[in-house]
A and B are shown apart, each in its own frame.
Chain A
Amino acid sequence: MSLLIRAMPRTALLRASILKSQPCLSALAKRESSTGNHTPLWTAERAVSAALIGVTPLALAMPNPATNFLLSLALTAHIHWGMEAIAVDYVRARVVGSVLPKLAMGAVYGLSFATLGGLMYFNFTDVGLANAILMFWKL
């Protein structure tokens, strides 16, 4: 058992809720850090994913400044955590050395800020995210 746990990638595994409460497993928990309580972050990630189930169709059905704002915010947060997980899983210091993981993480943060800024700028100065999708779909 302990060998099995050790051989697992350190990032994730623990997301499965059956294992969530096991203290021996949560020590290996998410992201690169091995300290701190990661449950609130995990819950926030799922809450944003769940919110997208409602916010995405809502924004497309009623595109307005409020729904565009909500969609852009939720989408950027969701994308940020998703791409962060992917960077942590595949750009590992063990495999690629200590520099690339930092660059990858920096890229994820940079792209997330640019995305949030870009989408908000687009919402305030142009037709807005949901409208843009609808306009594209009419082509």
Chain B
Amino acid sequence: MNAILRGGVYGRCLTRSLLSSQCVPLRASSSIPSEAFFEKQKALKRPLSPHLSIYKPQLTTVLSISHRISGIGLTAVVYGMAIGALASKGQFPECIAAIQAAHVSQAIIIPTKFLTSSAFFFHFYNGIRHLCWDMGLGFTIKELYLTGKIVVVLSAVSAAYATFML
């Protein structure tokens, strides 16, 4: 009873305050925190929030930062390819032939493939998850964890398939 009551009251308060009275349309100038506000925050020397070394990692936060990290990793590959194409004189098939001639061990090639395909598939599936959120879908805690787990499993299976079967 108590819990229901609390949930109901808080829920309604939050909705109301988001939707109406307390959310006064602010002009751009008044909505940006003042210099004094930031000076005060700086002087307080607050730790980063959430305090990363003591904040419990959760599926939600881990996948969130992983989307960014995989995006940056994939970007590094594309930057490298594009700038490599501009900088090098040779054609790509020659480059592939040179790698073949070097007889790079499968102990390097397989982890490389698994790492890049994991990053790609995770970012791909989680990107779809992001776009669903952008349409307003899947915001309950239950859905967040369910879709998160689906993304992890799909990425692992796809990356394993791409690494070992293609």
User: What residues make up the interface of A, taking CB atoms closer than 8 Å to B?
Assistant: 1-2, 5-7, 10, 15-19, 22-25, 27-28, 34-35, 46, 49-50, 52-53, 56, 75, 79, 82-83, 86, 94, 111, 114-119, 121-122, 126-127, 129, 131-132, 135-137, 139
Contacts and interface: CB of A to CB of B under 8 A. Distances in A.
A94 B38 contact: yes
B4 interface: no
Contacts of B124: 53, 56
Given A82-B75, A83-B75, A28 B31 contact: yes
Interface in B60-111: 68, 71-72, 75, 78-79, 81-86, 91-93, 96, 99-100, 104, 109
Contacts of A7: 33
A28 to B, nearest CB: 6
B38 A34 contact: no
A56 B78 CA distance: 13
6 closest cross-chain pairs (CB), A and B: A118-B82, A122-B85, A34-B28, A23-B25, A115-B82, A17-B136
A78 B125 CA distance: 16
B33 A6 contact: yes
**Main SS class of interface, B:** helix
Contacts, number: 115
Given A122-B85, A126-B91, A135 B113 contact: no
Nearest to B17: A1
Interface residues of B, number: 48
Contacts of B99: 139
Nearest to A79: B75
A131 B68 CA distance: 26
Nearest to A72: B82
A39 B19 CA distance: 20
A10 B134 CA distance: 19
B23 interface: yes
Contact of B96 (A17, A18, A25, A135): A135
Interface in B1-47: 17-18, 22-29, 31-33, 37-38
A18 B136 contact: yes
A127 B94 CA distance: 11
Contact of B25 (A24, A50, A119): A24
B31 A53 contact: no
Contacts of B78: 75, 79, 115, 119
A85 B86 CA distance: 26
B146 interface: no
Contacts of B130: 49
A22 B23 contact: yes
B106 to A, nearest CB: 9
Contacts of B85: 118-119, 121-122, 126
